[in-house]
Amino acid sequence: MADLTLTKTRLIAGVWEGELRGAGSEMPVLRAAHLDKDLEGLALVQGEAPDVWLVRLSLPAQIISDGVQTVIFYDENDAVLDSFTLLSGEAMAADIRSEISLLRSELDMLKKSFRRHCNES
């Protein structure tokens, strides 16, 4: 099981879903952790192909909070297979994405003003 690959397929209704490849037909050992604590609710189901396992993690309510929250998936040797991050709340006010959104709004305003100026000239 040296070449495990975990790929996210979707995050919906508080459930992270992905596909684990390279584990063979024997159920792999996998864990998900948040702030160095293992999370409950991790489920693996054999996929249609013998080498594919469907992974589901029901996100516990305690990890959904303000700030940056990261969940990391590990194999049996504690190698990181994948991770995902939840961003929310006041801590994100200074986030680069909000800055880009503000810049886009200002650019739209400038474009409108410039067009109006050109039409009036």
Is-contact 81 4, C-beta < 8 A?
yes
> Rounded CA gap, 64 and 113, in Å?
42
Q: Backbone phi, then psi, for 102, in 5-degree steps?
A: -65, -45
For the segment 63-76, what is each residue's pLDDT rounded down to a tens digit? 998 888 899 999 99
Same domain, 20 and 78: yes
Same structural domain, 43 and 83: yes
Q: 3-state class of 96 per DSSP?
A: helix
| First and final C-alpha spacing in the chain | 70
Q: What distance in Å separates the CA atoms of residue 118 and residue 64, rounded to the nearest whole number? A: 49
Q: Do 81 and 36 share a structural domain? A: yes
Residues 44 and 96 in one domain: no
Considering the domain architecture, whether residues 98 and 50 belong to the same structural domain is answered as no
Residues 35 and 58 in one domain: yes
Q: What is the pLDDT of residues 73-87, one digit of tens each?
A: 999 998 999 999 988
Alpha carbon distance 20, 53 (integer Å): 5
The whole-model pTM stands at: 0.73
Q: Does one domain contain both 62 and 105?
A: no
How many domains is the chain built from?
2
- 69: domain range? 5-88
CATH code, domain carrying 63: 2.60.40.10
What is the model's pLDDT at position 65? Answer: 86
The rounded distance, in Å, linking the Cα atoms of 96 and 87 is: 12
77 and 104 in a single domain? The answer is: no
pLDDT digits (tens, 9 = 90+) for 20-65: 999 888 889 999 999 989 999 999 999 998 889 999 999 999 999 8
Domain shared by 103 and 49, yes or no: no
121 and 73 both lie in a single domain: no
